[in-house]
Amino acid sequence: MLQAGKALKVSIYLSEGMTHHGMPTYSSILDFLFYRGVAGATVLKGVAGFGADHHLHTASTVEISDSLPLKIEFIESREKVTELLGKLEEMCGTGMIEVQETTIAKPARGSKPKDAILPAHLRLEGKAKMMRIYIGEADKWKDKPLHLALVEAMRANDIAGVTVYRGILGYGAHRRVHKDKPLHMSHDSSIMLSVVDSEEKLRSFLPIVDQMVEEGLVVLSNVDIIKYSYRASEAGAPEEHTGSEIGSA
């Protein structure tokens, strides 16, 4: 964590269209800084500019330019910057890196105080149950998408977590093939909700599922929990994955 006092500000100047190993260079550099523990970094996008090639790039033209200037900025200790600089020089290619002396008057702090008490959260380990619910994307419950209503109901009933998947191909009881087609926004894709919790919790929730799912498939299977714990930075906020499921009834 950064402390008040002397530090270095690093500015990396790139073009938006630059790539590094097939990925946008700015994205690769941001990932590198994140996973090397840099306190924070910002990507800024220019609306006009020119560089070493002396070509003027502007966002005001009819065509969308992929050569607009980008700048990545971060502030770190001299030791950390020295450690990272060699790799950054290699990654930025024809871009430019500027390093300036700066002074941190007040370091940033996390949004939660150190003495904050994290909310209690169910910890699972050992034997548990997995429930999978197969429905269609067009299915509704009280004029609301059924998969969304199920997620909200699970959250309200303290189910540990749920993930929603969208299937790209499948069929169900009606033997209609549901296929995700390019450039076609299908509203009848297959949806699967996957839930892992204790058997007691899931069986107590089954009557609610029975009321909400008029046409679909619900299965329970045994699973072994290797590790489950909440993320401290997101305690109390369930993850919502809407990627949808396999197999519509």
**Both 138 and 186 in a single domain?**
yes
Residue span of the structural domain in which 16 resides: 5-104
Residue 113 lies in a domain: no
Q: At what angle do helices 78-91 and 25-35 cross, to 10 degrees?
A: 150
Assess contact for 103 and 219: CB atoms under 8 A.
no
List per-residue pLDDT tens for the chain, 249 residues long. 788 999 999 999 998 889 998 889 999 999 999 989 898 999 998 776 565 555 665 655 444 555 678 999 999 999 999 999 999 999 999 999 999 999 999 888 766 655 555 555 555 567 889 999 999 888 999 889 999 999 999 998 989 889 999 887 766 555 666 555 554 445 567 899 999 998 999 999 999 999 999 988 999 999 988 766 555 444 444 444 333 333 333
Position 221 in a domain: yes
Say if strands 190-197 and 126-136 run parallel, antiparallel, or are unpaired. antiparallel
- CATH, residue 204: 3.30.70.120
Please give the C-alpha separations between residue 135 and each of 158, 168, 205, 246, in angstroms, as whole numbers: 22, 14, 17, 9
Q: What tokens does 74 get?
A: 């971060």
Burial code (b: 16+ CB inside 10 Å, e: under 16) for 53-82 equals: eeeebeeeeeeeeebbbbbbebbbbeebbe
Query: Whole-angstrom Cα distance, residue 9 to residue 13?
Result: 13
Q: Are strands 162-166 and 242-245 parallel, antiparallel or unpaired?
A: parallel
Q: Measured in whole angstroms, how far is the alpha carbon of residue 92 from the centre of its chain?
A: 25
- Please give the Cα distance from 186 to 76 (Å, whole number): 48
* Domain-located, residue 111: no
Domain assignment present for residue 99? The answer is yes
d(CA 19, CA 176): 43
